[in-house]
């Protein structure tokens, strides 16, 4: 994990964000191509790292792993012109990589597709929707018979070096600055010096700046004006 984070972090960046889709939304009887085609506007995975409900729509670099997707026949037919970039791809790996290139233009992206799904047998908590099959695929409506436990689900997980971390690190810095360190004598009695604490705050602010783009700069100015 450390080496992977280092590979995704450059230009002074040291932190990556974790994202996941559990289960990855695939309709029963549909392919990965179909699933990603319906996700052109809203990305299928959500931010797991601290940052609330922020949508990660941009990134500098990422590594994505998708598991539990069945292989399909090549989408392009001989003599027939593909009507989309995804349709021109022949393997699931190519489909996912093309999707990432389209959703995050200019970002460095690596991707892997594994057939084995994530098992969800007991004691895994059954918090899934009744619209899921045993294999974690989506249905248009619940099955008529009583629902059975979901045995496995397709999952997408990602690590991203993304501009959203600018707000995450800035928020952490604000929380630390708000601490009344003089009232926490035990904190410094453990060996932390006041000067070291201030230096760490300075380094954290500098790290946050490494994730700033012109959009984050505009948002920061708006927050300053509102304050």
Which of 125, 152, 145 shows the shortest CA–CA distance to 24?
152
User: Each residue of 37-47: pLDDT tens digit?
Assistant: 877 667 888 88
What does each C-alpha distance from 158 to 7, 58, 74, 90, 110 come to in angstroms?
Answer: 14, 13, 26, 23, 10
Q: pLDDT at position 90, please?
A: 84
Q: If you count DSSP H runs as helices and E runs as strands, how many of each does the chain have, helices first?
A: 7, 7
Which of 82, 87, 72 shows the shortest CA–CA distance to 29?
72
Average pLDDT over residues 58-63: 92
Helices 194-209 and 164-177: angle between axes, nearest 10 degrees: 160
Q: Indicate the DSSP class of residue 27.
A: B
Residue of higher predicted confidence among 81 and 54:
54
Strands 118-119 and 155-161: unpaired
Average pLDDT over residues 188-194: 73
Q: pLDDT at position 145, please?
A: 58
The whole-angstrom separation of Cα 99 and Cα 119 is: 26
Residue of higher predicted confidence among 206 and 192:
206
Q: Percent of the chain scored above 90 by pLDDT? A: 37
The whole-angstrom separation of Cα 23 and Cα 120 is: 11
Taking the CA atoms of residue 62, residue 113, residue 88 and residue 161 in that order, the dihedral angle to the nearest 10 degrees is 0
Strands 61-67 and 46-47: unpaired
The gap from C-alpha 83 to its chain's centroid, in whole angstroms, comes to 28
Mean pLDDT taken over the chain: 82
């Amino acid at each position: 994990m450390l080496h992977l984070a280092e590979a995704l972090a450059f230009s002074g960046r040291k932190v990556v964000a974790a994202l996941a889709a559990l289960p990855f939304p695939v309709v029963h009887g549909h392919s990965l191509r179909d699933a990603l085609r319906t996700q052109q506007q809203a990305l299928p995975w959500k931010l797991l790292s601290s940052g609330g409900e922020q949508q990660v729509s941009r990134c500098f670099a990422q590594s994505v792993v998708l598991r539990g997707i069945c292989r399909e026949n090549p989408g392009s037919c001989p003599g027939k012109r593909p009507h989309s970039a995804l349709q021109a791809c022949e393997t699931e790996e190519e489909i996912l990589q093309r999707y990432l290139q389209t959703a995050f233009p200019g970002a460095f992206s690596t991707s892997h597709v594994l057939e084995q799904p994530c098992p969800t047998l007991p004691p895994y908590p059954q918090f899934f929707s009744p619209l899921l099959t045993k294999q974690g695929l989506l249905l248009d409506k619940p099955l008529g018979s009583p629902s059975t436990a979901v045995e496995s689900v397709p999952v997408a997980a990602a690590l991203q070096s993304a501009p959203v971390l600018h707000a995450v690190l800035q928020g952490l810095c604000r929380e630390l600055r708000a601490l009344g360190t003089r009232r926490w004598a035990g904190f410094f009695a453990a060996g932390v010096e006041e000067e070291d604490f201030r230096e760490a705050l300075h380094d954290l602010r500098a790290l946050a700046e490494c994730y700033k783009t012109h959009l984050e700069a505009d948002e920061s100015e708006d927050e300053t004006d509102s304050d």
